[in-house]
Structure 1
Amino acid sequence: MLIDVLIMLGLALAFAAVEMTLTWGVARRLRNYSIVDAVWSLGFAPIAVMYLIGRKYQPEQGILFVLMVAFWSLRLGVHLARRIASHHPHEDVRYAKLRTDWGSNADRKMFWFFQLQGALQVVLSLPFLFACSRSTDSKIPLESDWFAIGGCALWLTGLLGESLADRQLARFRADPANKGKVCQTGLWNYSRHPNYFFEWVVWVGYAVFALGSPWGWLGLIAPALMLHFLLNVTGIPMTEELSLKSKGDAYRAYQRTTSAFVPWFKKS
């Protein structure tokens, strides 16, 4: 089992390295490194398929799991690709800032930054590997597999919530009258980052699904890492910094009254 896991992780790392090298080449040519966000999201689907094909057995749980990953990956990837295309040739402010900070070394450093993204992709795919490693010897039908049912329910909740949050924000931004204003409609009235929260719920769903595998507990690394990045690294901190610069006091008032992550009632 351990050797099989290491082999599959090695193949996934090789795929991610090639994927990110090609993405870096295209991004460098376009002078828009933002495209890595869309490619990163889309890349999870082939990794999940690779894990399923590489296992000796293909139980219905594994097939269902891969379909879940593929649907989520395609939705998020296409959503990000459309957003990036609508702003091209303008680069996302995060990557524009890195380009400025790194100066003449930007292309070289961005190459390794992309490779780091690929490595993170593989680490986050751990629940995929274990969910696809469940053999038919377990003899647990899907309808009686509570880990699979619970994981699927969480995944669906997260997917629907994230899709709704994305749609509500896009509709708000599309109205010229809302320029410079803070979106507080729908889910955004209860959380400053409902899209991030429901994205995390999706990953919790993946981890719960994988718990049906003997090594599935290792998949809990994925939602833990995702939570760390959302709360402390590239998610909320960077988004809040940019929002404060563009919206000023209006966003400060929003911060005082609205939960940062978990949707909750307004503070008085």
Structure 2
Amino acid sequence: MLGGSGWSFPAVSAVNAAVLFVVFTGVFAAGQARQRHRYVDATWGSAFAVVAVVTLVLSGGGDTQHWDTVRRVLLVVCTVVWGVRLSVHIAWRGRGAPEDPRYAAMLARAGGNPTWAAYSRVYLLQAALVWFISLPVQVGIFVSGHPVAGAVPVVTLMVVGLGLWLVGVGFEGIGDWQLARFKADPANRGRLMTAGLWRYTRHPNYFGDACVWWGLFLIAVSTWPAALTIASPVVMTWLLTSGSGKPLVEARLSAARPGYADYVARTSGFIPRRPRRPDPRHRQDVG
């Protein structure tokens, strides 16, 4: 596949991989100097935005059809908006905070050179994940033509994908805002957030992230080659539900909050739904 600029997709994707290597290596150098590897979390979202912009610039305009332009604009705008918001939120939330317990525990367990362990297991791994998870965005921006089956399915996929992206950004943004307000109140110190969106799912931010990436996949898949990248949103969903997301957070909260088991018993772990049963004992659980 060649873009309007004459670049092939493998070449564009290789450039993205190189850019991510440079970005995450630079963040590693800053984190190593300050002994705070938590800075990499604030890089995660914006790294996806960088990939989208680089892909757009290198793919060129060419003689694209109307729906190619719409798809490209949607993918770039949606990826940048989601990524920048997430990076800003994580950077603001973590200002002045000590090292993330996850990274501290990982480095404590690491054998051999701890510096290499941090670089390879945190930074290089995240760079590789960004590259892989962003493949639907890369393909959707790069490819011209190749509609699934005409204009109506293309429009339908884009509309459904955009709708799912909006749901995801809404859940993630509102959930983060609600939790930030809750934690800002000194009266809530040591308590669990069980109101708002957190009443219907223990992880509205992770549910929102999954919706965002399935939405981007649906927008991209309006051109059929993007269907080959379905493993990317699958991997993202797995990371959120079974990898480095939900399990680690819940292990920490279970140890720190005695009331967390009751919250788990009545509240969905991912997909929002009504609490399983009314609980007369339910109030803001003190941990």
**Shorter-chain TM-score range:** over 0.9
- Structure 2 CA distance, aligned partners of 1:6 and 1:135? 15
1:36 is aligned, of 37, 40, 49, to 40
Which letter maps to 2:21? A
Which residue in 2 is equivalent to 1:106? 114
Normalised by the length of structure 2, the TM-score is: 0.87
What do you get for the CA RMSD once the two structures are aligned? 2.1
Alpha-carbon distance, 1:151 to partner:
1.1
- Structure 2 CA distance, aligned partners of 1:158 and 1:231? 15
Alpha-carbon distance, 1:50 to partner:
1.1
Alpha-carbon distance, 1:56 to partner:
4.0
1:124 is aligned, of 133, 136, 139, to 133
**Residues 146 and 224 in structure 2, CA contact (< 8 A), matched pair in contact too:** no
**Residues 75 and 220 in structure 2, CA contact (< 8 A), matched pair in contact too:** no
Alpha-carbon distance, 1:135 to partner:
2.2
Label 1:75 to 1:130 Cα distance change in 2 as closer, same or farther (>3 A).
Answer: same
Identity in percent: 31
| SS of residue in 2 equivalent to 1:261 | coil
- Structure 1 CA distance, aligned partners of 2:146 and 2:206? 37
Alpha-carbon distance, 1:142 to partner:
10
Alpha-carbon distance, 1:104 to partner:
6.5
Label 1:92 to 1:137 Cα distance change in 2 as closer, same or farther (>3 A).
Answer: closer
1:155 is aligned, of 148, 152, 165, to 165
Which residue in 1 is equivalent to 2:82? 72
Which residue in 2 is equivalent to 1:49? 53
1:21 is aligned, of 12, 25, 31, to 25
Regions of 4+ moved over 4 Å: 140-144
Name stretches of at least 5 consecutive residues in structure 1 with no aligned partner. none
**Residues 152 and 209 in structure 1, CA contact (< 8 A), matched pair in contact too:** yes
Name stretches of at least 5 consecutive residues in structure 2 with no aligned partner. 278-287
Label 1:95 to 1:142 Cα distance change in 2 as closer, same or farther (>3 A).
Answer: farther
1:225 is aligned, of 227, 230, 235, to 235
CA-to-partner distance for each residue in 1:67-95, whole Å, 9 max, x for gaps?
Answer: 111111110000001112141xx111111
Alpha-carbon distance, 1:152 to partner:
1.1
Which residue in 2 is equivalent to 1:164? 174
| SS of residue in 2 equivalent to 1:120 | helix
Which residue in 2 is equivalent to 1:213? 223
Residue 93 of structure 1 pairs with residue 101 of structure 2: yes
2:203 is aligned, of 193, 211, 216, to 193
- Structure 2 CA distance, aligned partners of 1:158 and 1:64? 15
Alpha-carbon distance, 1:258 to partner:
0.7
Alpha-carbon distance, 1:29 to partner:
0.6
* Equivalences, count: 265
CA-to-partner distance for each residue in 1:176-204, whole Å, 9 max, x for gaps?
Answer: 11122111110000111111001110001
Identify the structure with the greater helix proportion: 1
Alpha-carbon distance, 1:106 to partner:
1.8
